[in-house]
Amino acid sequence: MLFHSTYGLRPAVREAADRLRAAGHEVWTPDLFEGHTFDTVEEGMEFKERTGKEELLKRAVLAAAPYSDRGLVYAGFSLGASVAQTLALGDDRARGLLLLHGTSDIAPNAQVDELPVQLHVAEPDPFETDDWLSAWYLQMGRAGADVEVYRYAGAGHLYTDPGLPDYDAEAAEATWRVALGFLDSLG
């Protein structure tokens, strides 16, 4: 289950899903913004605020529900990574969590049984500061997750999206190479 960023379900998300499918993975890309896409982070964040976090999570849960009994790997880009993390930590059948460009708060009572988690993030990243990532990493470990973090020096926040100024081809290719290996290891 691959969730889009605050820009909405853009071509880059569909291309990423196609890349994962070509590697033999079954992928769903729910549209949490119901057809809306945005040219700037600010426009996307404004839409997210109007829609509300609870509504977006409800849409995500409804999208994942028909497939969750299979043991999903949750994945997402930035805002979508936050959504994926929330769902994975609440789904005892989750097989893994792939976070691209983002993380989320962790409920104090969150518990998983060695959930494999891989995070890919720019260094530095204005949305994922070093202090935040250190605290997040420790909290995920306390929750029982088995976390790997990959940082990409000099890359922009959404560096895997070729349609955005943040795009970094070298960092994007390195991310996909490592992420595909991670997904393959989950079976």
57: left (phi over 0), alpha (psi -120 to 50) or beta: alpha
Closest of 181, 120, 177, 174 to residue 149, by C-alpha: 120
Q: How many CA atoms lie within 13 A of 108 on its CB side?
A: 0
Tokens of 82: 């936050």
pLDDT in tens, the chain (187 residues): 999 999 999 999 999 999 999 999 999 999 999 999 999 999 999 999 999 999 999 999 999 999 999 999 999 999 999 999 999 999 999 999 999 999 999 988 999 999 999 999 999 999 999 999 999 999 999 999 999 999 999 999 999 999 999 999 999 999 999 999 999 999 7
**Alpha carbon distance 134, 53 (integer Å):** 24
Q: Compute φ and ψ for 33, nearest 5 degrees.
A: -100, 10
